[in-house]
Every structure is written in C-alpha cells, then in structure tokens.
Structure 1
C-alpha cells in the first residue's frame, strides 16, 4: 500500500509547479509538438525538456516520436486516477 502513496506523491509534486500546470493546460487542448509548447514559455529548450520529463516520468503525459520531433499528449488514464483519488478524499 505504501507504493500507492509514493506514486500519488510523485503526481502531486509534478503538479506543484506553475510551469508544469501550464503545460498540462496546453495539452488539455490536444496533442502538441514540443516546439509549440516551447513557444508558450520564456525558457530554454533544456528547461522545457526537464519539465516534460518530470510530467512523463510520473505518467501525466506521454510522448510520441514523429521524425525528429516529439509530440506530447495527456495520459488521460492517469488523470482519471487523480480525479478518483480526489473524489475519494471528498467523501
């Protein structure tokens, strides 16, 4: 059971950064190339890659290679798990 708490903590830690929340909000509109996500921020490509890695590692987003570009989208299954977790706390 302890591993569930550790995984949930990773999700909430990833969501605890304003830039990562903005990435999630951008991806809520649909799949985006990393280059398009970068246009919404004033940060380096390496900083964006760091944020995308954190979101990907905890399962909130997923990447799909297309040529030399990576297209990111929300992992809706894990977002539903977060929603269920929060709803369970509100009982």
Structure 2
C-alpha cells in the first residue's frame, strides 16, 4: 500500500486539527482506527513499533499469540492495508516495520486543542 498523507495534518508534527476533516480523509482515518480496534492487531502493531532496530521478522510475531500463522498473516495484512505497517520479503521471511508518519497523523486526530475541549 502506498504511503498516503492526510492533507489537513501536514502543517507540522502533531499540529492540532484546525478545520473539520473532508469526507475522504475521514474515511481513510476510519479505516486505520478500525484496524486498530482489534486487540490482536493493536498488540501486533505495538510489537512491531517497539522493536529495537525498527523492524521485526514475522517469525518473531507468532510466538506471543495463541493463533495460527495464517491468522497472524491476516491481521498483518489488515494493518498493511490500513497503511500502519509495511513489509519486505527477504528470502523465506517477511520483515515488518511501522510507518511513523501514518501513526503521527492518527495521533494528531486525537490531539484536541485545549481551547476546543469542553
């Protein structure tokens, strides 16, 4: 999946939203939040993002779960489709890494300025 950005959030790192999201931007963000709404995917993302060196082999992502390899692969595919992680095949293994820009965009959506908060 290509790395796409939400145009309203390109004003700087973690800049708060200053105007409502466009319909397409909201749909794109909702896809990512939906992907994170599953506990397995949230744990997978945390395992990938917290890994020293910034990437992790899929072989190291199966042991922490009581799930089959195909199920883990499905969850990783959902994270990739949401643009939260990317991967690269190296021989027989696939290595995953988080996409910090995308995670920053989602974080900015939740950063409500204090002046707006009730």
CA distance in 2, matches of 1:29, 1:3: 30
Q: What is the CA-CA distance between 1:89 and the residue it aligns to?
A: 6.6
Q: Which runs of 4+ in 1 moved over 2 A?
A: 88-91
Is residue 2:42 matched to residue 1:18? no
Q: How many positions carry a matched residue from both structures?
A: 91
User: Normalising by structure 1, what TM-score?
Assistant: 0.92
Matched, 1:76 2:97: no
Greater fraction helix: 1
Structure 2-normalised TM-score? Answer: 0.72
* Highest RCO, 1 vs 2 (Cα 8 Å, sep ≥ 6): 2
Distance in 2, matches of 1:29 and 1:58, equals: 19
Say yes or no: does 1:87 pair with 2:111: yes
Gaps spanning 5+ residues in structure 1: where? Answer: none
Cα RMSD (Å): 1.3
Specify every segment of 5 or more residues in structure 2 that has no aligned partner in the other structure, as ranges. Answer: 1-21
Q: Which is greater in Rg?
A: 2
